[in-house]
Amino acid sequence: MRFYRLMRVGYGVLGEALITIRKEFPGCRFLIFTGDEYSLKYGLRVAEIVQGDTIVGDNEPKERGYGLVVGVGGGSVIDRAKLWAYERDLPFISVPTLPSSDGIASPVSVLNGKSRFLTLPYGVIVDLEIMESAPRWSILAGTGDLISNLSASVDWDRFKERSAEPYSHEASVMARSGALSLLNSSPENNLDLLIWGLILSGLAMNVAGSSRPASGPEHKVSHALDSIGYGEKHGIQVGIFTPLFLKLNGYPGWERVREFLTEVGLPDHVTLTEGEAVEVFSRASETRPHRYTVIENIGWERVLEEAVNLGFVRIV
Ligand SMILES: [Zn+2]
């Protein structure tokens, strides 16, 4: 296990960090993955500083003897770049432009619903100036993804004996501590805590050797919602179901977590037809079949019943 070789988190750190990287890899060709909308201007700026080639949106890069890959964008850009670099054994630098998920600094890449455990990025550069101007939905989604570490790790602690993935107490506490710091913060100064929490989440996955400390029953329901095309952001979906699974695992502060998420501005329920609700909850287990959670423990029917009774699912 290793740590990031380069890590910068702060206001206006992007330029200096990129110059450092450029100097560390003299004569090396850089390839910059970037999105075709929001992140494009940042991607072009990065390419200019490191004098690299850009690959925009879903385009496939050509093999041109690249020596280093940079991902500049939101979750899907970062995850594509991360995987492309991993498959070629190239160092990968993550430059997130949105704080929308814990993929920004993790060893995991999720593409088209398929999750792959890779290696920790070589470098992570988070410029808080960029993050501060990120759209509100991305901050809400990142908040939901980070807070979901509570239900994921509490669930893992409870069912560790039945876990297919090796349990790590250290990873569980790491994943949870970032979420708890944010939960106990005042609404004004939480961007820093959100970013550090998401980074800590990536490190917890690295310690665990799996995404388990940051992905439990709330993620299974979210993946099942994706499979019916529900269409809400990942972090928002997992955030909605975090208090439910805390309650089902007997966590006393579940209502406080629900209040916090509502105060921040996350929706507190999903709206489904009865047929959709049955489809989602009956399918949740098979989205990560090797992962034993409270859903398998008490059965999806009971989970759905509680979700409806407590207002996390509204049936129309
Ligand atoms: Zn997640």
* Predicted local confidence at residue 164, as pLDDT: 84
CA of 316 to the centre of ligand 1 (A): 27
Q: What is the pTM of this model?
A: 0.95
* Predicted local confidence at residue 316, as pLDDT: 96
CA of 184 to the centre of ligand 1 (A): 21
In this structure, what DSSP letter does residue 278 have?
A: H
Is residue 115 within 8 A of residue 108, CB to CB? The reply is yes
Asked whether residue 40 carries a pLDDT value surpassing 80, the answer given is yes
Residue by residue, DSSP assigns 100-126 as -SGGGG-SEEEETTEEEE----SEEEE
**Closest by CA position to 295, among listed 189, 230, 224:** 224
CA of 214 to the centre of ligand 1 (A): 7
Please give the share of the chain, as a percent, with pLDDT higher than 70: 99
CA of 215 to the centre of ligand 1 (A): 6
CA of 242 to the centre of ligand 1 (A): 11
* Each residue's pLDDT tens digit, 187-196: 667 899 999 9
* Each residue's pLDDT tens digit, 150-209: 999 999 999 999 988 899 999 999 999 999 999 998 766 789 999 999 999 999 999 999
CA of 273 to the centre of ligand 1 (A): 25
Domains of the chain: 6-132 (3.40.50.1970), 136-315 (1.20.1090.10)
Average pLDDT for 40-46: 97
CA of 239 to the centre of ligand 1 (A): 9
Rounded CA separation 162/251 (Å):
19
Asked whether residue 2 carries a pLDDT value surpassing 90, the answer given is no
CA of 178 to the centre of ligand 1 (A): 14
Burial of 64 (0-12, 13-18, 19+ CB in 10 A): exposed
CA of 271 to the centre of ligand 1 (A): 21
- CA distance between the termini of the chain: 48
CA of 206 to the centre of ligand 1 (A): 15
